[in-house]
Chain A
Amino acid sequence: MSSPSDHPAPPLGVIHDIGYRPYAGPRLGELSVARSLFVTGLRNCYGLGRSTKSKVLPVLLFVVMLLPALILVAVMVQARLDQQPLPYARYAMVTQLVISVFVASQAPALISRDLRFRTITLYLARPLRRSTYVLVRFASLAAAVFVLVAAPILLLYAGGVMADLPIGRETGDFVPAVVAAALLAMVLAGLSALVSAVTPKRGIAVAAVIVVLLVSFTAVSAIQGIAVEERADTLAQVAGLFSPFTLVDGVQVWLFDGPASTPAPPEGAGMGILFCIVTLVVIAGSVGAMLLRYRKAAAA
């Protein structure tokens, strides 16, 4: 029935017990958080856990990376070759465009988005230190690139083993190539993550990463080509420091005596050590720079 609008005070409120209990049990520590963030990041780089549209490009690129390896194995088997048509360590250089596109498209998706839409504050509100977040993101990206680079090399190795190539020799070539793949993954991940962290808008980040990777390689190979012709060997070798692909290639040539993909791999101890040092500096430096960048990000 109707009731006047000035009733006496309503009865005191009561909270009903519907069985809700706060969680008071043991909680996993930061390591678990980091691990699950790492796995999620790695999966996201391949579109797993994201929308269907974002699966297209990484899967396409992965397939394009594997195709030449498949063809090479087929050729090797058919023609009964007694060695790999393309040495393991040279595969990355040949497919570097594909790797570059992968890195350029996934690094911003992994890193720029959290910064732009400020979801980083959600991550940091958990028991996850800022430095852990940065390192884990870097690790996810590096792992994703490593998978991309190493999978075809593994395929070549498997094909070679099944084609009865001498296992000892093949393994001796395979392992350094995998190590080089890991180094390359870390260098690429570091550089692209740094660029992505500095440019929050995804579109520019993609363009910026490609600019860095593509322009550096084209410039370096142009200089190396001309310098070799002009017998300016030192210059040619030093130029190799300025592109991630040539840098890592140089390291694996000097360290493991692997096959060279550039016309001017480092020769001699001094140059070789320089290449190794620069590689480490690039990796550590980009991670360090990212840590610095993220120090502002959470507050910004």
Chain B
Amino acid sequence: MSVIQLDHVSRWYHNVVAVNDVSMTIGPGVTGLLGPNGAGKSTLISLMSGFLAPSAGTVTLDGQPLWRNPSVYRTIGLVPEREALFDYLTGRQFVHANAALHGLPDPSAAAQDALAVVEMSDAQDRAISTYSKGMRQRVKMASALVHDPSVLLLDEPFNGMDPRQRMHLMELLRRMGAEGRTVLFSSHILEEVEQVARQIEVVVSGRHAASGDFGAIRRLMTDRPNRYVLRSSDDRRLASALLGDPSVRGAFLRPQGGLDVEAGDFGRFAQMLPRLAREHEVRLLEVSPTDESLESVFAYLVAT
């Protein structure tokens, strides 16, 4: 169990503050670090991987400081953002070298396993200079996985990947998270974070804007209404019943069937809806939120 703890961390350079009093805890599972470009995500990942020292505050992994502490790299796998790799090596040689540098007892086997996990076994004997961007990302992942780390830090890992590779990487990250590893990846693309991480940390302009399940974050902002699409056996009856409840702000009958409901107090609405439906003998066929997406959360956070 590896937990990264940031405690009132700030990082400034001359009079530019890159990270401003951020405190967060990254535990096992997949966490998404979300923020617009220039928000400080790369800085945070550098801080967490021991490649930057905080100007104030502490960054620790299981209580151990990360700065100037090479032994932590036994448990950390880092996939940096920069594209540069050892172009003159083949994929296999590169991953093998990484395995050897970690002091693994059988570097070739470990390299083969890592390459198989990222599905690069076919191309492993070609020089890295011939690789496409997505292949380079996968080789970087392999090099980070080869020593079986319990912490994985990925800086913008989905950059330059085509949809199929993205899906594959998402699946891989989910699996890593399910195995109990601490996986943190950064992105400024909302769909990516939404599909992989349930726990997000939002960073905007160096400040820690929000953290938690994005649904939970959403719920914290109760003054912004939630919208749902309901389908039921009798829409009109349900609509008139709903409008009687104070948690519902509006209901709209859709032309193709179904109800659009705008609810103010989500919690109360969620409890009330089944009860109400039962009372009026309306069968609920579908209840889906229409805007509980990261997009709306994010846009809301950025706008404030």
Q: Which residues of A contact B (CB under 8 A)?
A: 1-6
In the bound complex, CA of A49 to CA of B50 (Å)? 37
Set of chain B residues within 8 Å of A6, measured between Cβ atoms: 254-256
Q: Which residues of B contact A (CB under 8 A)?
A: 225, 227, 229, 249-250, 252, 254-256, 260-262, 290
B118 to chain A, nearest CB (A): 29
B154 to chain A, nearest CB (A): 27
In the bound complex, CA of A6 to CA of B256 (Å)? 9
Indicate if the CB atoms of B250 and A4 lie closer than 8 Å: no
Give the number of residue pairs across the A-B interface with Cβ within 8 Å: 22
19 pairs, CB–CB < 8 Å, chain A vs chain B: A1-B250, A1-B252, A2-B225, A2-B227, A2-B249, A2-B250, A2-B252, A2-B260, A2-B261, A3-B252, A4-B252, A4-B254, A4-B255, A4-B260, A5-B229, A5-B260, A5-B290, A6-B254, A6-B256
Q: Dominant SS at the B interface?
A: strand
Q: A2-B260, A4-B252, A5-B290 are in contact. List 7 more A-B contacts (CB 8 A).
A: A1-B252, A2-B227, A2-B252, A2-B261, A4-B254, A4-B255, A6-B256
In the bound complex, CA of A6 to CA of B227 (Å)? 14
Minimal Cβ-Cβ distance residue in A for B254: A4
Minimal Cβ-Cβ distance residue in B for A8: B255
7 nearest A-B residue pairs (beta carbon): A4-B254, A2-B262, A4-B260, A2-B250, A2-B260, A2-B252, A4-B252
Set of chain A residues within 8 Å of B255, measured between Cβ atoms: 4, 6
Set of chain A residues within 8 Å of B290, measured between Cβ atoms: 5
Set of chain B residues within 8 Å of A5, measured between Cβ atoms: 229, 260, 290
A46 to chain B, nearest CB (A): 28
A252 to chain B, nearest CB (A): 46
Minimal Cβ-Cβ distance residue in A for B253: A4
B200 to chain A, nearest CB (A): 25
B262 to chain A, nearest CB (A): 4
In the bound complex, CA of A1 to CA of B252 (Å)? 10
Set of chain A residues within 8 Å of B261, measured between Cβ atoms: 2
Set of chain A residues within 8 Å of B262, measured between Cβ atoms: 2
Minimal Cβ-Cβ distance residue in A for B249: A2
A6 to chain B, nearest CB (A): 6
Set of chain B residues within 8 Å of A1, measured between Cβ atoms: 250, 252
Minimal Cβ-Cβ distance residue in A for B225: A2
Minimal Cβ-Cβ distance residue in A for B259: A4
Set of chain A residues within 8 Å of B229, measured between Cβ atoms: 5
In the bound complex, CA of A2 to CA of B252 (Å)? 7
Interface core residue of A1, A4, A6 (most chain B CB under 10 Å): A4
Set of chain A residues within 8 Å of B225, measured between Cβ atoms: 2
In the bound complex, CA of A255 to CA of B277 (Å)? 107
In the bound complex, CA of A156 to CA of B249 (Å)? 89
Minimal Cβ-Cβ distance residue in A for B262: A2
A118 to chain B, nearest CB (A): 15
In the bound complex, CA of A75 to CA of B262 (Å)? 92
A9 to chain B, nearest CB (A): 14
In the bound complex, CA of A5 to CA of B229 (Å)? 9
In the bound complex, CA of A2 to CA of B250 (Å)? 7
Minimal Cβ-Cβ distance residue in A for B260: A4
In the bound complex, CA of A4 to CA of B227 (Å)? 10
Set of chain A residues within 8 Å of B249, measured between Cβ atoms: 2
A200 to chain B, nearest CB (A): 14
In the bound complex, CA of A4 to CA of B255 (Å)? 9
A83 to chain B, nearest CB (A): 55
Set of chain A residues within 8 Å of B256, measured between Cβ atoms: 6
In the bound complex, CA of A4 to CA of B261 (Å)? 9
In the bound complex, CA of A5 to CA of B290 (Å)? 9
In the bound complex, CA of A140 to CA of B250 (Å)? 71
In the bound complex, CA of A6 to CA of B225 (Å)? 19
In the bound complex, CA of A4 to CA of B254 (Å)? 6
B286 to chain A, nearest CB (A): 14
Set of chain B residues within 8 Å of A3, measured between Cβ atoms: 252, 260
Minimal Cβ-Cβ distance residue in B for A1: B250
In the bound complex, CA of A3 to CA of B252 (Å)? 7
B281 to chain A, nearest CB (A): 25
In the bound complex, CA of A200 to CA of B227 (Å)? 57
B193 to chain A, nearest CB (A): 23
Minimal Cβ-Cβ distance residue in B for A5: B290
In the bound complex, CA of A3 to CA of B225 (Å)? 13
In the bound complex, CA of A95 to CA of B154 (Å)? 53
Set of chain A residues within 8 Å of B252, measured between Cβ atoms: 1-4
In the bound complex, CA of A6 to CA of B262 (Å)? 16
B87 to chain A, nearest CB (A): 12
In the bound complex, CA of A2 to CA of B224 (Å)? 12
